[in-house]
Amino acid sequence: MTPVYLDNNATTRVADEVLEAMLPYFTEFYGNPSSMHTFGGQVASQIQKARQQVASLLGAASSDEILFTSCGTESDAAAVHAALRAFPERKHLITSTVEHPAIKALFEKLGKEGFRITTIPVDDRGRLNMDLLEKSLDEDTAIVSMMWANNETGTLFPVEAIGKLCREKGILFHTDAVQAVGKIPMDLKTMPIDLLSLSGHKLHAPKGVGALYIRKGTPFTPFIVGGHQEHGRRAGTENVASIIGLGRACLLAEEKMAEENTRVRAMRDRLEKELLSRIPKCFVNGDLDARLPNTCSISFEYIEGEAILLMMNQYGICASSGSACTSGSLEPSHVLRAMGVPHTAAHGTIRFSLSIYNTEAEMDAVIEKLPPIVKRLREMSPFWSEA
Amino acid sequence: MWDYTDKVREHFLNPRNVGEVENPDGIGEVGSIACGDALKLTFRLGDDKKIAEAKFKTFGCASAIASSSALTEMIIGKTLEEAENISNENIAEFLGGLPKEKIHCSVMGQEALEKAIAYYRGEPEKVLEGEIVCHCFNVTDVDIQRAVKEKGLKTLEDVTGYLKAGGGCGNCHEEISNIIKASQGISIMEPKKPAAGLTNLQKIRKIEETLEIEIKPALMRDGGNIELVDVDGNRVLVRLQGACATCSRSRITLKDHVEARLRTLVAHDLVVEEA
């Protein structure tokens, strides 16, 4: 059965162009870019090309501002720790209530180590409380870290406005843009963002490669020490093929940006509209006015998400759930809870996330298969008859 | 993805006996929508006093639905005396095993059966025994002690997998670990006793301090907050903020958790109210 893959916020398929660009670097050009011979050295120039491709997608002023890492989580950790070392006297950190675990768990750990952590809440549509953010910034604040796009709902934070507030107070601003990069246009050279994390496998590059944007002039000390790779900012032999793949994927994303925001968006909107009209008692989560073009988070009341996913799995439909039961934790997603989504619905939340590889026929499959699944599970639910 | 057995999958995709028995002899309801799973079991006895018909309605994940379906198959044709010997382990065994994080699904089946039989016999509903330890899932210290002793649970993860206790906000992890240790005969420190004979000013300061240190950090992790508005005799007036202000469950938080902590640490007669 060919999967109907609608879980692209979890990971994406590697694009053919990307794989093709990578392959020679496994068996043909396998030299170490740090070597003193041409065979190795020629690889370094390809890494440099990839760096430019990443910088171009981000609209960065210079490719020197791009640091390759192993993943989004490493980029996040490197950014936050660099800020803490740059301002050792500052003991206050600010984030939001809806961050990815890469930031959430890091801040919780730093909180236990004695840092003062402020987590800014969101409203019922996932919009950040900007007043509270402004009031929370103080002289003791070392860094503000706010995601650009939410992985569960696709809600976009106003990073430009957040960065502006931080800059006025001389506070570093980091954004986890893992879900945003490649899906929405960005122009970092004109934006008040100091540090930005991205991950390769969310934009059709392989797993195991990421990058950190470090605006020129931002204090930075390495998180991983050792050799002099990445201009001494991140030690460790480069993941050459994947870095080249990430560069190629960024070029592809630039080429497909318009399609992502037109064809993909239209498919997502149709899927959402059809499901809402065919299924009673369901609603879409997130800020409908500021949202990624590919993400749809939809809550089906009185049923549980894992059961929905496993029934869709019968038809090869791949999505994910905000339900507790899929994660091993017993509480539904912290993002939905922070938005105040009631328990009657939070457990039954499904996230569809599309990519350029999806087709209208795949949307039709979901539109046909999902309504009877929801109906069947509701007939089993003790809460449905009372609803 | 969970490692479900073929039998779990089969019972989930083709559940037996879904629905409600008309004019049932026994009704057992456990769980809640907030907890993420719930089961309503109904049965009817035949003239031979054996269970002639049993049906279920379940809100929950695949293993909750499969456990409910398995339960109905297991009890049909049995007398109540036979049925009440079915344990959660029997339900899990029937399904070829459950992932350890999902054991509570089979426990839910056993509890619903117990309740349904008690309903038939006209036995009064069991009242909560002991003090609530896990406020997310309403689990008491007595429940935990009993489970640790009877099921040989050894770790916090075991307790969470079995009773769900500790699977939510995590504030009770230390307390659960202490109960496990105590049940294994390891001595633990006595809880702090309420301070006696406080002046009004001391009392207010202690309430403030308790809210700051004990309550606020936990609420803030969930995007909420709490503000002390006034103290009037033994009435503590507070205001919930952020995510707590819109969360229906925070009313329970307020009553159970905040009040319990203040009573333990400040004065035993305090009543928490929303301003």
* Inter-chain touch B221–A332, beta carbons under 8 Å: no
Phi and psi angles of residue A195, each rounded to the nearest 5 degrees, phi first: -140, 140
> Which chain A residues are within 8 Å of B57, Cβ to Cβ?
380-382, 385
3-state helix, strand, coil in chain A (%, to 5): 45, 15, 40
B244 is catalytic: no
Q: How far apart are CA A310 and CA A318, in angstroms?
A: 9
Q: Binding site residues of B for [2Fe-2S] cluster, as ranges? A: 134, 136, 169, 172
The beta strand positions in A301-362, using DSSP E, are: 317-318, 320-321, 349-353
Nearest-Cα distance to chain B for A253, in Å, is: 30
CB A176 within 8 A of CB A99: yes
Domains of chain A are 4-10+257-380 (3.90.1150.10), 16-252 (3.40.640.10)
The beta strand positions in chain B, using DSSP E, are: 26-32, 37-45, 51-59, 132-134, 139-140, 224-232, 235-242, 271-274
* Inter-chain touch A347–B40, beta carbons under 8 Å: no
Q: Please tell me which residue in B80, B105, B148, B262 is annotated as part of the active site.
A: B105
Q: How many CA atoms lie within 13 A of A103 on its CB side?
A: 32
Q: Which residues contact A197 (CB under 8 A, 6 or more apart)?
A: A72, A75, A76, A79, A102, A174, A175, A176, A177, A178, A210, A211, A212, A213
pLDDT of residue B192: 47
Taking only Cα atoms into account, the Rg of chain B, rounded to an integer number of angstroms, comes to 22
Two tokens, residue A22: 């990578």
Judged by a CB distance cut-off of 8 A, whether residue A325 touches chain B is: yes
Q: Binding site residues of B, as ranges? A: 35, 61, 105, 134, 136, 169, 172
Judged by a CB distance cut-off of 8 A, whether residue A281 touches chain B is: no
* Inter-chain touch A338–B223, beta carbons under 8 Å: yes
* Inter-chain touch B33–A330, beta carbons under 8 Å: no
| Residue numbers of chain B with a pLDDT score lower than 50 | 190-193, 195
Domains of chain B are 6-120 (3.90.1010.10), 132-183 (1.10.10.1100), 200-274 (3.30.300.130)
Judged by a CB distance cut-off of 8 A, whether residue B252 touches chain A is: no
Kind of pairing, strands A116-120 and A66-69?
Answer: unpaired
Nearest-Cα distance to chain A for B242, in Å, is: 6
> Which chain A residues are within 8 Å of B2, Cβ to Cβ?
306
End-to-end CA distance of chain B: 45
End-to-end CA distance of chain A: 36
Closest residue in B to A347 (Cα–Cα): B36
**Secondary structure class of A125 (helix, strand, coil):** coil
A71 is catalytic: no
| CA distances (Å), origin B3, targets B71, B96, B264 | 20, 11, 43
Judged by a CB distance cut-off of 8 A, whether residue B15 touches chain A is: yes
ipTM of the complex, rounded to two decimals? 0.87
Other beta carbons less than 10 A from residue A89's beta carbon: 7
* Inter-chain touch A380–B15, beta carbons under 8 Å: yes
Interface test with A, best of B61, B139, B157, B248 (most A CBs within 10 A): B61
Nearest-Cα distance to chain A for B61, in Å, is: 5
* Inter-chain touch A307–B60, beta carbons under 8 Å: yes
User: Comparing C-alpha atoms, which of B224, B219, B221, B168 is closest to residue A108?
Assistant: B221
Judged by a CB distance cut-off of 8 A, whether residue A331 touches chain B is: yes
CB A98 within 8 A of CB A119: no
Q: Which residue has the tokens 């990307």?
A: A18
Nearest-Cα distance to chain B for A172, in Å, is: 23
Q: What is the pLDDT along chain A (387 residues), one digit of tens a residue?
A: 889 999 999 999 999 999 999 999 999 999 999 999 999 999 999 999 999 999 999 999 999 999 999 999 999 999 999 999 999 999 999 999 999 999 999 999 999 999 999 999 999 999 999 999 999 999 999 999 999 999 999 999 999 999 999 999 999 999 999 999 999 999 999 999 999 999 999 999 999 999 999 999 999 999 889 999 999 999 999 999 999 999 999 999 999 999 999 999 999 999 999 999 999 999 999 999 999 999 999 999 999 999 999 999 999 999 998 766 655 556 778 999 899 998 888 899 999 999 999 999 999 999 999 999 999 999 999 998 755
Q: Please tell me which residue in B8, B21, B30, B35 is annotated as part of the active site.
A: B35
Interface test with B, best of A380, A383, A385 (most B CBs within 10 A): A380
Q: How far apart are CA A249 and CA A29, in angstroms?
A: 20
